[in-house]
Amino acid sequence: MKGAKEITNYDLFDNPMVRSARESMSQETLDEYKKIGEDMYNQVEFETGMVLGNTDDPLVEFVAYTAEALKSGLDPSYLEPNENKIMEEHYRCKDWYQKHFT
- Alpha helices, DSSP H only, in the chain? 16-24, 27-41, 58-71, 81-91, 96-101
Question: How confident is the model over 1-46, as pLDDT tens digits?
Answer: 566 566 566 778 788 888 899 999 999 999 998 998 888 888 887 7
Distance of alpha carbon 80 from alpha carbon 93, whole angstroms: 17
What are the residue ranges spanned by the domains of the chain? 1-52, 58-101
Nearest-Å Rg of the Cα atoms of the chain is 20
User: What is the structure's pLDDT at 14?
Assistant: 81
Distance of alpha carbon 64 from alpha carbon 76, whole angstroms: 14
pTM > 0.75: no
User: What is the structure's pLDDT at 40?
Assistant: 82
User: What is the structure's pLDDT at 5?
Assistant: 61
